[in-house]
Structures are given as C-alpha cells and as structure tokens.
Amino acid sequence: MHHFQYRNGNLYCEEVKISDIAEEVVTPFYLYSYATLSRHFTVFDEAFSKLPHIVCFSVKSNSNISILRIFGKLGGGADVVSGGELYRALKANIEPKKIVFSGVGKSRSEIEFALKTGVLMFNVESEGEMMVLNACASTLNVRAPLSFRVNPDVDPKTHPYIVTGLKENKFGVESSDALRLYLLAKDLPHIEIIGIDCHIGSQVTELEPFVDALTQLKRLVFELKNKGIELKYVDLGGGLGITYDREEPPHPNIYAQAIVSHLEGLNYTLILEPGRVIVGNAGILVTKVLYTKRHLEKNFIIVDAGMNDLVRPSLYGSYHTIQPVEKRDREMIVADVVGPICESGDFFAKDRVLPDVKSGELLAIMSAGAYGFTMASNYNTRPRPPEILVKEDKFFIIRERENYQDLVRGESIPQFLL
C-alpha cells in the first residue's frame, strides 16, 4: 500500500488531504507518513530474521527525534557519525548498546561522550583514531569496543560523491593493512576488539557490490580467527538504493537473502546501517508556486522552497518526481522548477514535463525523506522548514519552522561595533 496517493484528484498522505495541511501550516514543509516509515523499517528488519542482527538506522539520513523514536520502538538502533547525532539518538531513547559510532573524523570530545554513553561499538577508520580511542578509554578507565571500518575497494556504481568504498576514497582502513591494525589493537589495554565494518556507498541499486564487500570482510574475519582474534559483530553498513525515477533496486528481502546466505551458521551478529531505503520514499517536500515566467527559451516555475531546504538536485543532479497536490485538467508544459535562492544552481527539476500550474498551487517533491531536512541549511538566511508526521487521519508538527530569532541566535556584536 502506497501512502502518498491521489483520491479524486487530491494528493493524500495516509488519510490526510495534503492541501488541508497547507491551510494550517505555511509552505514549504516536509511531510512523512508514519505507516510508510514503520512498514519500511519492519520489512527491512524482518528480512534478516534468520540471523542475529541489529538494524542501526543511519541518523544522517533523517535525524528528527520523533522519527528515530519510531524505529527505536520497533527495536532499532542507530548509526551515528557525530556527537550531535548521538545526542539525538539518546533523546529518541535508542538503547546505547544498539548504537554504532561511525565516521572518519571523530573528535576526542565526541569519543569521550560516546564512551560515557556506553555505545555498542566504534567503527574506527585509522591508526591515529585507534590510539586516541585507547587514550580516551584509559582516562575514563574503561575498554572501548572497536571494529575497524575496512575499505573493500569495490565499485558500488553510484554517484561519485556518495561512493565511499573505493581505494581513492578517504574512508576506512585499507583491507591490506587491516590485519596489522587488528594485531596492534589487540595489545592496547583499553581496546576490546569486537567487530569489523564496511560501507561501500549510497543509493546502490545492485547486489553484487554488497556481496563482494561481504566476501572480503569474511576473508578477513577468518584470517583474524587464525591469529586468535574472535569477532562478534559484522557490520555491512548501509547503502541500499530506492526508486526515485526508474531505478530498480533489489527489494530488501532479496538483498537480505544474498547476505544471509553468506553468514548463516557462523555465529556473528550482523549489523546493518540503512538510511535511505527506510526513509527516502516515506517523506515529501510540499511547496507552493510563487510565480511562473515564460522566457523565449524557457518556462520557469518559481516555488517557495529552495536549495537550502532540499539540496540534492543542486548538489548531485538528483532526480525527484514533482507532482501537483491537486490534479486539474491542464495543458502540459516543459519547465524548470526553481527556488528563490540567488544561484542558478537552485533548481528542483530542469526541462521537466509538468502541468501548467499557476501561482498559489501546491507541488509535492517526492522521495525527499532521506537527506532532505538533514542537509537543509539557512543559506540566504532562510528559516529551515517544519517537519510534519502523518498517522492515519491526524498530523503532528514534529519540528517547527525556524523563526528569525532562531536565525541570529548565538551571534554577538563586539564592543567596537556598538
């Protein structure tokens, strides 16, 4: 069941007519479907039911506390990459023992915060980080649970900005160096080796790169075993893609089957860090048409959302379906959908065939649940938009729009300018 659907020409989210929300909440706003979020999580989680596993939702894809709570209540954990994300995960009541701390540049204070929290493990990405982790753990007189993020050098065939597991990428330790690092870690008094990790990229729509990466991890796991290092956790990262346009990514069940068959009977707990596949198609950005312009060469639809609200099209050239919230009989035109920001890169679609919408009409920018709000900024001193969660026939504001005071909070004027 798809939860963003037209009924009599009106787009609904679950049982709520989106235009009704726009009567009460000023556009632009993010809108999420609770039913979709929980179904996506559950389908993903159940796909791995044959193995001991933890689904650590990748907080960077959508960090709203209410949304994290949905997954926490369904038994999920969190993959965090900063002290801020850890703080959010805790606010969402995610159990510390289900939180993995990833990221190539963890600071000392972030490491200390995570050690005090008692997270499940640190996915360590360099020798230097391992030493700092050991030192911080020593100060606190604890042992830090470590896994190395290994760079498997497989090509996930996705956008170059979101490929992470190639040799030339900054992520992880080289797989040829992993054994040496594990042996070093073994001798550190405040490190407890517990796992191995990788993450190859995002919006991956084929199975093969995942299986290749897992095969490499397994080879290392056995090598380590031979050296007397027993691991408990194998973390395969996130990355499973979704349909934005015509992509045909494997269903989570197929993805899980391919992975489970490699790990069955081996006695490891599998960790997964999905983000996009859970939230991407569970959220949209609703925006209003401000103006339309016909130039000699181009039609422009100027909307009230900008690249500061949803940067993916500007940053990656990503495709997002755009559809009217109220369908009417209209001629189709070819137009660019653009925002109010003072940059030519501020667009949501280029040369897109769309109905000839008029000023005041609402548009839905689809598949905006992942890396939408979390990448929003205040560029052009625009308040970030509200986030709304729909459950059945009710909607809840789970984050208010920022106001002008929020935008200047923390700024101060030095004496000589007073």
Pattern of binders to ligand LLP over 187-226, x per CB under 6 A?
A: ------------x--xx-----------------------
> Least distance to ligand LLP from the beta carbon of 316, Å?
6
Does the footprint of ligand LLP cover residue 61 (CB under 6 A)? yes
3-state secondary structure the chain: CCCEEEECCEEEECCEEHHHHHHHCCCCEEEEEHHHHHHHHHHHHHHCCCCCEEEEEEHHHCCCHHHHHHHHHCCCEEEECCHHHHHHHHHCCCCHHHEEECCCCCCHHHHHHHHHHCCCEEEECCHHHHHHHHHHHHHHCCCEEEEEEEECCCCCCCCHHHECCCCCCCCCEEHHHHHHHHHHHHCCCCEEEEEEECCCECCECCCHHHHHHHHHHHHHHHHHHHCCCCCCEEECCCCECCCCCCCCCCCHHHHHHHHHHHHCCCCCEEEECCCHHHHHHHEEEEEEEEEEEECCCCEEEEECCCCCCCCHHHHHCCCCCEEECECCCCCEEEEEEECCCCCCCCEEEEEEEEECCCCCCEEEECCCCCCCHHHCCCHHHCCCCCEEEEECCEEEEEECCCCHHHHHCCCCCCHHHC
Select 72 or 249, whichever has its Cβ closest to ligand LLP.
249
Q: How far is the CB of 22 from ligand LLP (least distance, A)?
A: 25
* Residues 94 to 133 in contact with ligand LLP, rule: CB under 6 A: 102
Residue 342: active-site member: yes
Q: Which is nearer to ligand LLP, 237 or 324 (CB)?
A: 237
Using CB under 6 A, which of 88, 106, 312, 384 touches ligand LLP?
312
Please identify which of the residues 56, 136, 198, 342 carries the catalytic annotation: 342
Does residue 273 touch ligand LLP according to CB under 6 A? yes
For position 45 contacting ligand LLP by CB under 6 A, the verdict is no
Query: In this complex, which beta carbon is closest to ligand LLP, that of residue 61 or of residue 134?
Result: 61
Q: Applying CB under 6 A, does 135 fall inside the site for ligand LLP?
A: no
- 58 vs 134, beta carbon nearer ligand LLP: 58
Task: Point out the residues that are catalytic.
Answer: 342
The footprint of ligand LLP (CB under 6 A) covers: 58, 60-61, 79, 102, 162, 164, 199, 202-203, 237-240, 273-277, 312, 316, 370-371
